[in-house]
Structures are given as structure tokens and as C-alpha cells.
Structure 1
Amino acid sequence: MAISLAGRLAERGDVPLGTGCPMDRTLRAIGNRTALLLVREVFYGTSRFDALAKRVGVSEAVAAQRLRELVEVGVLTKEPYRDPGQRTRQAYVLTDAGRDLLPVVVALVQWGAAHTEGTAPRRTHVGCGEPVEVELRCAAGHVVGEADLELGTA
């Protein structure tokens, strides 16, 4: 089974899509392990630089570079905070674009739980207690599988 392609996508042959592809643009912006783990940690409520670097398990230099990149592409923003007796520092918080990554983060956790060894956090709806799963649905509410999806150019 494969996703159906329409328009220019169906006629692309062996020519790479390059930067015209939204998946390529997304991976260029946030598509490395450290960036995604930093985004995960901000979703989990971590906002301070030292804690982010420690929880992701990277050096301060790597954390600083990735956080700078995530701010530049608009996934995170910095907000000043000051602990009593300390200098002003910057906390990292999600922007609207960053919050839009929630289904991506949950889908990666869901895939990892199903296809890799180890434990995974439960994904539960606070409102009713039922498990949360990521799935594709059309605007009419139908679940969409690989064979039911058509990608085309606008």
C-alpha cells in the first residue's frame, strides 16, 4: 500500500522535492534528536536552561545551540525570570507553533512504545481517564489509513 500522489507530486519522477517539501522544511527546523527532546521537555514543564540540558543529557554548548535554533524558527520563545537574589535569566516556553507540535511528540512516543524496547509513559485524557492515541482523521471524522490518503499540490 502507498499514499496516493496527485498533481506535481505524482509527476515528480526522480527529481528531489528539496525545500518545497513541508516535511523537508520541518526536519531542517526541528528534525534532530536533541531538538525534539528539548521540545518534549518543555511540554513536560521544564523551562530552565540547566534543567533542559541535564534532562536531555547534552552538553551546555549543544543545548544552547539547539535552543537558539528552536527560538529562531519560532517553536520556543524566551521569557525573563528572576529568582530572589539572583540575576535575570531566560526561561524557554512554547509558542503557538511549538504547541502545534504536540501531536508529533505524542505520535513519536506512541510509535516508540509500540516498536522499541522499554517502558513508555501512559497517554491519558485528564477529562475522562481514557487512553490517548494519535491517528489521522479527515474533516468529516473518518479515520484515514495509508491507502486512503492522497497528497497533492494546492
Structure 2
Amino acid sequence: MSRGSKTRASDAEDICAITRTLAVLSDRWSFLILRDVFLGVSKFGEFRTSLGIASDVLSARLATLVEFGVLEKVPYHEPGQRGRFAYQLTPAGQELKIVLGALQQWGDEHVPHSENPSVARLARGSRHPLRVTFVDDRGNPVEHDDAEFVPTASYPKDAVIDQRPRPASPMA
């Protein structure tokens, strides 16, 4: 096992959900593979062509996404060819749509391209544009300034946390 995979394995056991998630979605290729899956790409050769990624890197990223239950391998057979596998999202993988939507939204707003967004986030039925936002447990939108990350009892006692009071939201 390489040093990188040992680190990834230990990160997958970390108490921090962000560290554990990054053990699975470890680099840009993982996010770009997911983007392509959401756009309908499913076969190894299609990923390689779309992304211009080396076969060994693609194999490793797909294996990690399968190992952690983000993608599943589905056998298929084209006439005259040997059996192969396509990749499709699991329910856990489908939940990453909001993460990719948030990344895209941030990029569209803070690192815009001169030719406008290349993909639109639309509601399937109405075709209305979508925004990614925080929502409370009653379904009410919450402004970013009013959302906070609060350590729980599980947070490591020796971690350094800024305990200073946060200023109230200017809209409050």
C-alpha cells in the first residue's frame, strides 16, 4: 500500500466529516468524474476521452469511488466485445449533486468565465433556475451569514477553536 493510500485510509476513519469526505473525493479528478457521471458519462473510455486523464489515474479514482459507495460497477457487453463495466451513481453518489452544484455556483459567481456558465442548474419539472443554499430542519432557507459551524461534544478536546463571539448578521 502506498503512503497516499495509507493516509487516505486513516483519513477515512477521522472524526471530522470533512476529512473523511476528502479521503473519498481526494482530488480534482474525483469531482470531474462525478460531474461527467451527472452529465451522462458512464464508461471508462468515455471518461478518459472527456477528461483527458491517464488510464491508471482514472482506474484508481474510479476504484476509490466504488470502494466508498459513491459509484457502482454495472456489467455491460457490446456485440463483438468482451464484457466491461459501466459506472453509475449509488444513492450516496446522488447526494453529491448538491456538493457539485455548490462548487459550480461558487465558481460561476467568484471565478466566472467570459462565455457564461457551461451548465445550468434547473428544476426538472419547471425548468426554473436553482440556487444551492442552507435550509433549516423545517425547510426554510437560511442566509450564509446566519449559518455557523458549531463544535459538538465529539469535537477533539485538544483542537484549537476560535471561541470569540461572532458578530450578528447585518440583516438581523
Bin the TM-score by the shorter chain: 0.7 to 0.9
The match for 1:136 among 130, 134, 137 is 134
Structure 1 residues 107 and 148: CA distance shift in structure 2, 3 A: closer
Letter in 1 for 2:150: L
The 5 Å alignment of 1:56-67 reads: 56-67=51-62
Number of positions where the alignment pairs a residue of Structure 1 with one of Structure 2: 137
What displacement does 1:153 show? 2.1
Letter in 2 for 1:110: Q
So what's the TM-score if we normalise by structure 2? 0.74
Is 1:106 paired with 2:101? Answer: yes
Q: Which secondary structure state, in structure 1, belongs to the residue aligned with residue 146 of structure 2?
A: helix
Partner Cα distance (2:24, 2:145) in 1: 25
What displacement does 1:26 show? 0.3
What displacement does 1:103 show? 0.3
Q: Which secondary structure state, in structure 2, belongs to the residue aligned with residue 90 of structure 1?
A: strand
Partner Cα distance (2:147, 2:95) in 1: 24
- Which ranges of structure 1 fall in alignment gaps of 5 or more residues? 1-17
Letter in 2 for 1:139: D
Partner Cα distance (1:31, 1:24) in 2: 10
Partner Cα distance (1:122, 1:39) in 2: 16
Q: Cα deviations across residues 16-59 of structure 1 (Å, max 9, x unaligned)?
A: xx911001100111131001100111111100001112212211
- Which ranges of structure 2 fall in alignment gaps of 5 or more residues? 1-12, 154-172
Higher RCO (CA < 8 A, seq sep 6+): 1
Structure 1 residues 62 and 136: CA distance shift in structure 2, 3 A: same
Aligned to 2:17: 22
So what's the TM-score if we normalise by structure 1? 0.82
Letter in 2 for 1:42: V
The match for 1:36 among 22, 31, 34 is 31
Could you tell me the percent identity over the aligned residues? 38
Partner Cα distance (1:81, 1:87) in 2: 9
Partner Cα distance (1:37, 1:69) in 2: 14
Q: Which secondary structure state, in structure 2, belongs to the residue aligned with residue 129 of structure 1?
A: coil
Aligned to 2:111: 116
Partner Cα distance (1:127, 1:88) in 2: 37
